[in-house]
């Protein structure tokens, strides 16, 4: 639905405006959600108080559900005829993914892969998938004091003007503040 989180903050915000990018929606997008507006063909969408042009190609693959359980997924797989089909499990706890992968291999004899977080895979018709090896990340150059001072100033200003924001802007602001608080808590716990 693209209401919050990494999809909205990272993927859409940094890719929707790119003419060479593609956004693929798998499954239903509820009325009134950013995902539905994009699927319906809006030319611009507001993400975190910024108007983002929709220049990417938008595709929709219907017939899938993000909420199917193990039994429904196994029943769905029975409908496919190809025994050379490759199955990718990309959602859920790793132990549940491993269990489901074993059931799929046992019942259908299909090849099953469980990609790692941020792993990229190249798909070519009729060929086994190829994993793309990520480049080693460069150490970021971070100068926290000016960033922290700038954030404090912006937070103070936002706090003073909060009542003038629309309900959608207030909701976006609340989501960003929750994410920031959760990130700071995670960093604090990693230091303990």
Q: Tens of pLDDT along 2-27?
A: 887 788 777 898 899 999 999 998 87
Same domain, 110 and 151: no
Instruction: Verify that 76 and 128 share a domain, yes or no.
Output: yes
Q: Which residue has the tokens 């993927």?
A: 11
- Determine, yes or no, domain membership for 91: yes
Q: What is the pLDDT of residue 85?
A: 85
Q: Domain boundary at 61, 83, 102, which? A: 61
Three-class secondary structure of residue 120 per DSSP: strand
pLDDT at residue 24, rounded to an integer: 92
In a domain, 192, yes or no: no
User: Is residue 184 situated within a structural domain?
Assistant: no
Residue 58: the pLDDT is 95
- Counting the structural domains of the chain, the total is 3
Q: Quick one: pLDDT at residue 66? A: 65
If asked whether residues 57 and 92 sit together in one domain, one would say: no
The reply to whether 188 falls in a domain is no
- What is the three-class DSSP state of 18? coil
Q: How far apart are CA 13 and CA 33, in angstroms?
A: 15
Q: Are residues 81 and 121 in the same domain?
A: yes
**143 and 123 share one domain:** no
In terms of domains, do 143 and 97 share one? no
- Structural domain contains residue 191: no
Would you say residue 189 lies in a domain?
no
Residue 172 inside a domain? The answer is yes
Q: What is the pLDDT of residue 160?
A: 87
125 and 82 both lie in a single domain: yes
Instruction: Answer yes or no: do 85 and 123 share one domain.
Output: yes
Torsion angles phi and psi, residue 106, rounded to 5: -65, -50
132-149: pLDDT as tens digits:
777 777 777 778 888 888
Asked if residue 187 belongs to a domain, the reply is no
Q: What parts of the chain have a pLDDT lower than 50?
A: none
Q: Specify burial of residue 84 (Cβ count, 10 A radius: 0-12, 13-18, 19+).
A: exposed
161, 117: one domain = no
127 with 143, same domain? no
Task: Provide the residue range defining the domain that includes 165.
Answer: 139-179
109's CB contacts (< 8 A; 6+ apart) are 83
Q: Do 79 and 45 fall into the same domain?
A: no
């Amino acid at each position: 639905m693209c209401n919050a989180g990494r999809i909205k903050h990272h993927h859409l915000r940094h890719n929707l405006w790119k003419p060479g990018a593609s956004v693929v929606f798998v499954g239903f997008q509820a009325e009134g959600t950013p995902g539905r507006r994009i699927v319906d063909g809006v030319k611009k969408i507001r993400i975190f108080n910024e108007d983002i042009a929709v220049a990417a190609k938008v595709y929709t693959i219907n017939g899938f559900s993000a909420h199917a359980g193990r039994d429904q997924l196994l029943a769905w797989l029975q409908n496919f005829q190809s025994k050379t089909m490759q199955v990718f499990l990309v959602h859920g706890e790793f132990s549940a993914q491993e269990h489901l992968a074993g059931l799929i291999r046992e019942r259908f004899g299909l090849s099953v892969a469980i990609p790692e977080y941020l792993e990229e895979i190249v798909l070519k018709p009729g060929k086994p998938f190829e994993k793309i090896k990520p480049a080693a990340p460069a150490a970021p150059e971070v100068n926290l004091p000016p960033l922290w001072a700038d954030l404090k100033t912006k937070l103070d200003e936002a706090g003073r003007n909060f009542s003038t924001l629309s309900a959608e802007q207030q909701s976006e602001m609340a989501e960003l503040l929750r994410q920031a608080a959760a990130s700071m808590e995670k960093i604090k716990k990693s230091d303990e």
